[in-house]
Amino acid sequence: MTAAEIRRRLMTHADPGSVPILQSFFKTGAGQYGEGDVFVGVRVPAMRGVCRDCRGAGLDAITTLLRSRVHEERLLALLLLVDMFTRGDETVRREVYGFYLSHTAFINNWDLVDSSAAPIVGAWLYERSRAPLRRLAKSALLWERRIAIVATHYFIRRGDLDETFRIADLLLDETHDLIHKAVGWMLREAGNHDGAAERRFLNTRVDRMPRTMLRYAIEKFPPDERKKYLQGSASPGRRKRSTRDKP
């Protein structure tokens, strides 16, 4: 199936009336992290349906979609890529993993990262060296740093928490809220598996952690415990100003 055929199927689900809402939610205004991103108004459930219908699309078609200015086309490309990886043999998975990391410039919004980093990057590295995650965590590209921490969700689901804590350590001094939130989210997920391990991590770092990161990490703690951690957190005045973006 060609990219043009896939695009036509996708556009049958477009709802122009929802575009302003999506543009606001994904911060596409001047100076925001999604500046200039184009939406056509296709919701995620519809995209997943198109993905099922277009299963088996090759990398040529996926590449065209991933390089599109249209957000939904890039997300659909990543959903197709995840499906290809999940269903593929070792050779296919290696190719998809390499393709993914060579196209991170187009994986340039939080939902694009969150839908693909764990099932591709995390899945490939689970039984391999995690050194690529540490390189991504030190990248100058915001989205590669988010890929690094979100990829560890694959490990967390399998009870392997160490890499999440390692990548979180590398990102403690991050200044962007999108990384604060992703790190806090992964710490919370790690705590769902081992609350004591999460607390050990927090106890020695709470005075360095950005407030948003900490809030996400302790979201499920009892109210009194949340208050105690927040009282010990880093003063906002000791950090560079970070962007207040969603999610």
Residue 234: the pLDDT is: 64
Residue 245: the pLDDT is: 40
Residue 244: the pLDDT is: 37
pTM of the model: 0.92
CA distance 75 to 50: 11
Residues 146/33, Cβ–Cβ less than 8 Å: no
Consecutive 10-residue runs of the chain (247 residues): their mean pLDDT? Answer: 96 96 94 94 96 95 98 98 97 98 97 98 97 98 98 98 98 96 98 98 95 97 95 57 41
Residues 133/148, Cβ–Cβ less than 8 Å: yes
